Amino acid sequence: MISTEGKYTVETFAQKNNLTRQSAINKLSKLKKAGLVSVSGGGKQKRIYTLHTKPQKEQNGFYKIVNKYSPDKLNPSFEHYVYGKYTVENAIIDGLLIKDIRTKQAISHLFRHIKDWTKLFRLAKQKGLIMQLHEQYNYARKITKCKTMPKRYKL
């Protein structure tokens, strides 16, 4: 009974499936809960419902954290899904691994939100990124107001 993939408004979805408007809204709501529909628009704009054949997961990884805290918004170049806890410290290490100039500028703003320096340096040591982390921190100190690094981690 579900329509094919595509973009619909409530009216076009109802017309295509021979439903009343209210029935179409209910059906779209159930499909949205199942992860088969994503919604855009609203407010003054008309809502556009995008139907998918497979359930779509919301990205909850690197790009979500960077775009939340940084004024430099990044367009995701890959899909990053995380199971479990993904913190600012993990995002800084992943940003250092990407080795892109725009990404490095964006992760500079994450140094303001570090809660656990021990975790950050443990992750950096595991990946062999201690020197790059210090360079990135010094760069971040020049362009933003950051928390000071504890003395035991300074070189």
Residue-by-residue pLDDT tens, the chain, 155 positions: 566 889 999 999 999 999 999 999 999 999 999 889 989 888 888 999 999 998 877 777 899 999 999 998 998 888 888 888 999 999 999 999 998 899 999 999 999 999 999 999 999 999 999 999 999 999 999 999 998 999 999 88
- The answer to whether residue 123 sits within a structural domain is yes
Q: Quote the tokens at residue 39.
A: 């919604």
Q: What is the dihedral of CA 86, 57, 66, 154, to 10 degrees?
A: 20
**102 and 37 both lie in a single domain:** no
> Could you write out the DSSP letters of every residue in 81-133?
--SS---HHHHHHHHHHH--HHHHHHHGGGGGG---HHHHHHHHHHHT-HHHH
Give the per-residue pLDDT at 145: 92
Pairwise CA distance, residues 16 & 23, whole Å = 12
Pairwise CA distance, residues 36 & 145, whole Å = 42
Look up the domain containing 33 and give its range: 6-51
**135 and 103 both lie in a single domain:** yes
- The answer to whether residue 126 sits within a structural domain is yes
Beta strands at 6-8 and 37-40: parallel, antiparallel or unpaired? unpaired
pTM, 2 dp: 0.71
Count of the separate structural domains present in the chain = 2
- The answer to whether residue 57 sits within a structural domain is no
Give the closest residue to 130 by CA, choosing from 91, 92, 87, 80. Answer: 92
- pLDDT per residue over 7-50, tens digit each? 999 999 999 999 999 999 999 999 999 889 989 888 888 999 99
Give the per-residue pLDDT at 57: 76
Give the per-residue pLDDT at 1: 52
**84 and 139 both lie in a single domain:** yes
Give the per-residue pLDDT at 3: 63
**94 and 128 both lie in a single domain:** yes
Max CA distance (Å), the chain: 69
Give the closest residue to 111 by CA, choosing from 135, 146, 151. Answer: 146
- The answer to whether residue 1 sits within a structural domain is no
Place of tokens 């995701």: 76
**25 and 67 both lie in a single domain:** no
- The answer to whether residue 56 sits within a structural domain is no
